[in-house]
Amino acid sequence: MERIERHACFGGWQEVWQHKSESLDCTVNFAVYLPPAAAEKKCPVLYWLSGLTCNEQNFITKANAQRYAAEHGVIIVAPDTSPRGDDVANDDAYDLGQGAGFYVNATQQPWAPHYRMYDYIRDELPALIEQHFPATDARAISGHSMGGHGALVLALKNPGRYRSVSAFAPIVAPSQVPWGEKAFAAYLGDDRDTWLEYDAVVLIAKAQEKLPLLVDQGLADNFLEEQLRTGLLEDACSKAGYPATIRYQEGYDHSYYFIASFIEEHIAHHAAALQG
């Protein structure tokens, strides 16, 4: 691994690292915020998954999360959203290919050799973090939009791996909305039954554990009705008896202004579970 950025931030350090990923078969970046407490002891880790078109930079430069991570003694890890490189398959559209990995393991060509973000986030990245940084194995996961979808799916499919989950404006039912239908058809093929393994609304019904779950959705989000459909998650949680806190925020859109406005509460949500 090679550290390519380091900035003093709220008494800790915001770093960006680069490494060759075995899961993705390419060189990738990830960001790590180390709070002041990490200089003295191992700290729990919150994994943040970003949305379409983003990389590791969006969250660390726009969300103001470091301030609250410093207060709570939580490490934040923000990976890229897809494999990258000249040899990695891509598409001209913003919602497929590089910057749009959807946190699945692709099975179709030309995507399958590199697009294994699910394995990378679940297995490879935490192993690196816990080996090379002052991190405990207490993990939480959160994300925005496509990353909110990824956070929900990873938490629901892997009981015992995370202590809490949250999301901002997540794609809750990708098998039922245009973004997900396009990506899943490309990455997973035409068999829609295989898509359901990455659909939070479906997974809620058979969840083996009930993690603390917090979701914020802006009511001025122009993607709400067609792509996000938060109400489907609300209905699924109600039917399954899953104790979710799903909040609708008047006037807020899909941007990082929205995330920055509520990130303090999300980090407190995770800190309570990680340190409780």
Q: What is d(CA 197, CA 203) in angstroms, rounded to the nearest whole number?
A: 7
Tell me which of 80, 164, 221, 269 is the catalytic residue. 221
Whether 149 and 200 have beta carbons less than 8 Å apart is answered as: yes
DSSP per-residue letters across 186-251: HHH-S-HHHHGGG-HHHHHTT-SS---EEEEEETT-TTIIIII-HHHHHHHHHHHT--EEEEEETT
| Element (DSSP H or E) covering residue 263 | helix 256-275
Tokens standing for residue 207 = 């969840």
Contacts from 15-19 at CB under 8 Å and sequence distance 24+? 16/56, 16/57, 16/60, 19/128
| Closest CA relative to residue 76, chosen from 259, 275, 212, 271 | 271
Instruction: Confirm whether 254 is a catalytic residue.
Output: yes
Catalytic residue (one of 254, 266, 269, 270) = 254
Peptide bond into 79 cis (omega under 30): no
Give yes or no: 145 in active site: yes
Is there a catalytic annotation at residue 221?
yes
- Kindly name the residue from 21, 145, 164, 166 that is annotated as catalytic: 145
HSE-CB for 206 with a 13 A CA cutoff: 9
Q: Which residues are catalytic?
A: 145, 221, 254
